[in-house]
Amino acid sequence: MSEVRILADGLMLPGMVGIPALEGWIRAGAPALPGSTVELPEGRVPPKLKRRITRLSAMAFCTGTEALERAGLPGEQAPLVWATANGEINTIGRIMDDLLGERGKVSPSQFHNSVYNAPTGYWGIATGRRFPSTTVSRGWLSFEYGLLEAWTRLQTGTRDVLLVAGDEAIEVPQWADPAHCTIDLCGSLLLSTREDRPALARITAVLHARASNQATVLERIHEWSSEHDTQVMVSDHRWEGVRCKPEPLGDFRNPCSGLLSLLRFLHAPVPSDTVVRGGRSLLLTRSDQDHDVLGVVVERP
Amino acid sequence: MARLPILAWEAISALGAGREALLAGLQAGRCALTHDSGQPFDTPCPVGVVRDELEALPAGAEAFDDRCHRLAWACLSRLEEPIERVKRAYGPERVAVVAATSASGFRELETMFVPGGAPPGFDYQNLVSFGCVARLVRQVSGVNGPAFTDSTACSSGANAFISAAGLLRAGICDAAIVGGAEALCATTYAGFRSLRVVDGEPCRPFDQERKGMSLGEGAAFFVLEREPGELGGDSPFLAGVGASLDAHHMTAPDPDGTGSELAMRAALDDAGLEPGGIGYINLHGTGTPLNDASEAASVARLFGRDVSCSSTKGGAGHLLGAASAFEIAISLAVLETGLLPANVNLQTADPELGISPLAEARQVDPPGFVMSNSFGFGGNNTAVVLGRAAR
């Protein structure tokens, strides 16, 4: 197993653009977020794309470049893994509304923006880089499966992987379900097996378990927790009895919120209340309606 | 890379349900594209529609019931025996699922946008959110390994193979169910027409008169194993994968084919082969003037004019999110039978293109290695090399 290290990261949330803003937010005690929509900063998206790029693709571009810049590797040819639950769902909704509503047709300048991999396409066009790229999706575990995808690439010969994950607040009135994504969130991790650069943390394990009943999964989590002497973070409040942190977004919901939990762990002052038993490691786990559990063990230096 | 045995595969398309129907369609060089589509939306341009009655999903999977998932089930129900074999050999928790789609349940989602047509309680998580395809596959297969979806438009299936190869090579699982599914829907049909890239007649890839693509639907699924163990002794295998971004335009390919050449070279390197080792290429070949010219340029540079190759999209159409998986199935059929499929509907190959697609199907000694190309929106290029043991 190659050791996987987190070299740098990036983040966008409403009212919080960039890692320094995240650090300020943590210092302020993680107050409630000011709204559901990210306001894109001026000057970050290349002018040639500004009028064409979707908001989600722009967020992915900004947070991806932030991680590369923070790592001091702005021109790096790292393969890109984009993880998203709903992809360009707002664009898809607009297209369907146009086609099936009064307008009766699809705009040719919109259609290609509906694909799940639109952010990676814009990334290539903006940077001119031709490295491999994919887009993975798995509902409320999309970020975690993106991490698994990046992990397997790093274990099989790829030196660096830029993982970008995010979803945008769903604005399609046809399905205003509170269980859906209600806030923009996009973030990134530059993951690497190289040892010659400073790192924020290392990932020591990526774990997967699924059991047909919840009790078995809970037992598995307890086992991992004691084996690794780590704090457990779970996304699912139904799991009473597990030492857990609540969803990091307050009343908002986003499928990729596990990424925010991880970034909060990476940037919290040590020791802090996010780390139990004086440890420096985190077992971040999430589960979904299929009792699928993905865990990642992260250790800070 | 380590060769990953492919124990079994199944496919469904306008050419029919199941591998035997596909083999018969390829043998006959049949074009199943038709104006008479029976779709709930107008199709002035011909499409490749699955005519077979699609069986309902099995008990326990009812929440996933839509056309895309039924197409997947049409393959998976035929793969029950090999799936049971890998479950027995490795345990259900060691069998992963990587699925591919680029429209998932759009067809059902569209019903919500028709004025007055929104059914209450539409199940977004099980029908539309793209991870649902992988969850459905896992549900009906009874496996417990990691399960997720790759979605990179028309190259989704190849990226699912790349992801599965990563899981297998990293030892995360011992076997994997991989594949893609796509149902025709009004949105993608109208979307491609808005770009003026759909032919009013059945598509003619690489023809000098080619005018665009024809859309289709279907699915293809595969059972892969980590090591050539007792199960997959002389199975065909995944030999190499390659990918690149075009870094050019969201829909138009780089005219020089620089990006697609990178993907093909990477797949050859991964397989440890020189271009001369490839006996047949299943081209992406959508039938649009620009796509075919770009692909032909890179294929000609890498393999020369005489490499055996064809686009099979004139048969069942472009299956979009399932296209890559479906054409990997066709490529496996080439390894198994030695039947090089015709570039269906080709009348006069475009002399400007520098390659020689097969106007007729040709029976040869099965090649040792074949390649399948797939390129998607966003400039997502992939190439997959498949091989078989020497006989």
Rounded-to-integer distance, Cα A112 and Cα A110, Å: 6
CB contact (8 A) between residue A96 and residue B191: no
Interface probe with B: pick from A102, A103, A110, A117, most Cβ of B within 10 Å: A117
- Of chain B, the end-to-end C-alpha distance in Å amounts to 21
Lowest mean pLDDT among A72-76, B2-6, B48-52, B201-205: A72-76
pLDDT tens readout for residues B249-298: 999 999 999 999 999 999 999 999 999 999 999 999 999 999 999 999 99
Residue B202 has pLDDT above 90, yes or no: yes
CB contact (8 A) between residue A174 and residue B118: yes
Q: Give which of B381, B356, B162 is closest to B265, Cα–Cα.
A: B381
Calculate what percentage of chain A has a pLDDT beyond 90: 57
Helices (H), ranges, B114-224: 124-127, 131-141, 156-169, 186-194
Classify residue B329 by burial, with Cβ atoms within 10 Å: 0-12, 13-18, 19+: buried
pLDDT tens readout for residues B292-320: 999 999 999 999 999 999 999 999 999 99
Rounded-to-integer distance, Cα A99 and Cα B200, Å: 20
Residue B56 has pLDDT above 90, yes or no: yes
pLDDT tens readout for residues A58-75: 999 999 999 999 999 988
| A32 CB neighbour count, 10 Å cutoff | 10
Lowest mean pLDDT among A3-7, A46-50, B73-77, B241-245: A46-50
Task: Name the CA dihedral angle for A111, A114, A118, A122, rounded to a multiple of 10 degrees.
Answer: 40
Question: How close does chain A come to B40, measured CA to CA in Å?
Answer: 12
Nearest to A136 among B163, B172, B246 (CB): B163
Q: In terms of DSSP bridges, do strands B309-310 and B280-282 run parallel, antiparallel, or are they unpaired? A: parallel
Q: What is the pLDDT at residue A118?
A: 95
pLDDT tens readout for residues A11-22: 999 999 999 999
| Residue A77: pLDDT band with limits 50, 70, 90 | confident
| B119 CB neighbour count, 10 Å cutoff | 9
Residue A282's SS3 state is strand
Rounded-to-integer distance, Cα B36 and Cα B331, Å: 29
Residue A245 has pLDDT above 70, yes or no: no
**Residue B132, token pair as written in the block:** 């649902």
Classify residue B63 by burial, with Cβ atoms within 10 Å: 0-12, 13-18, 19+: middle
Residue B106's SS3 state is helix
Q: What is the pLDDT at residue A128?
A: 92
Nearest to A139 among B106, B114, B131 (CB): B131
Residue B104 has pLDDT above 60, yes or no: yes
| Residue A76: pLDDT band with limits 50, 70, 90 | confident
B310 touches B282 (CB < 8 A): yes
Q: Give which of B324, B307, B331 is closest to B386, Cα–Cα.
A: B331
Helices (H), ranges, B148-227: 156-169, 186-194
DSSP B116: T
CB-based contacts of B224: which residues, under 8 Å, 6+ apart? Answer: B4, B5, B6, B7, B164, B168, B175, B176, B177, B178, B238
Q: What is the pLDDT at residue A177?
A: 62
* Chain A / chain B CB contacts < 8 angstroms: 215
Q: Give which of B19, B76, B17, B50 is closest to B339, Cα–Cα.
A: B19
CA angle A40, A44, A48 (to 5 degrees): 105
Residue A57 has pLDDT above 90, yes or no: yes
Q: Give which of B285, B278, B274, B271 is closest to B241, Cα–Cα.
A: B271
| Residue A301: pLDDT band with limits 50, 70, 90 | confident
Assessment of whether the complete model's pTM goes beyond 0.90? yes
| Residue B210: pLDDT band with limits 50, 70, 90 | very high
CB-based contacts of A172: which residues, under 8 Å, 6+ apart? Answer: A89, A90, A93, A97
Rounded-to-integer distance, Cα B376 and Cα B391, Å: 35
| Residue A192: pLDDT band with limits 50, 70, 90 | very high
Q: What is the pLDDT at residue A239?
A: 42
Strand (E) positions, chain A?
4-13, 16-17, 80-83, 133-137, 160-167, 185-192, 201-210, 231-233, 281-287, 292-299
Q: What is the pLDDT at residue B226?
A: 93
Helices (H), ranges, chain A: 19-27, 55-70, 89-100, 118-127, 142-155, 214-228, 257-267
Classify residue A275 by burial, with Cβ atoms within 10 Å: 0-12, 13-18, 19+: middle
CB-based contacts of A216: which residues, under 8 Å, 6+ apart? Answer: none
Q: Give which of B353, B244, B238 is closest to B307, Cα–Cα.
A: B353
Calculate what percentage of chain B has a pLDDT beyond 70: 97
The helix (H) or strand (E) run that includes residue B324 is: helix B323-337
| Residue B148: pLDDT band with limits 50, 70, 90 | very high
Q: What is the pLDDT at residue A218?
A: 65
Average pLDDT on A205-213 reads 76
- Of chain A, the end-to-end C-alpha distance in Å amounts to 19
Nearest to B122 among A117, A134, A175 (CB): A175
Residue B124 has pLDDT above 90, yes or no: no
> Taking CB atoms and an 8 Å cutoff, what residues of chain B touch A182?
none
What type of residue sits at position B167?
Answer: L
Q: Given B132, B185, B284, B309, which residue is catalytic? A: B284
Rounded-to-integer distance, Cα B311 and Cα B23, Å: 15
The secondary structure of chain B in percent helix, strand, coil, rounded to multiples of 5, reads 35, 20, 40
Question: How close does chain A come to B243, measured CA to CA in Å?
Answer: 5
Q: In terms of DSSP bridges, do strands B218-225 and B175-182 run parallel, antiparallel, or are they unpaired? A: antiparallel
B211 touches B196 (CB < 8 A): no
| Residue B230: pLDDT band with limits 50, 70, 90 | low
B179 touches B223 (CB < 8 A): no
Q: Given B154, B173, B185, B203, which residue is catalytic? A: B154
Answer whether the bond into residue A132 is a cis peptide, omega within 30°. no
Lowest mean pLDDT among A164-178, A184-198, B359-373: A164-178
Q: What is the pLDDT at residue B311?
A: 98
Alpha-carbon B89 to chain mean position: 28
Q: What is the pLDDT at residue B103?
A: 93
The average confidence (pLDDT) of chain A is 85
Residue A163's SS3 state is strand
Rounded-to-integer distance, Cα A191 and Cα B98, Å: 22
Residue A281 has pLDDT above 80, yes or no: no
Q: What is the ipTM of this complex?
A: 0.96
Interface probe with A: pick from B64, B93, B148, B246, most Cβ of A within 10 Å: B148
B154 part of the active site:
yes
Average pLDDT on A207-228 reads 68
Rounded-to-integer distance, Cα A97 and Cα B7, Å: 44
> Taking CB atoms and an 8 Å cutoff, what residues of chain B touch A161?
none
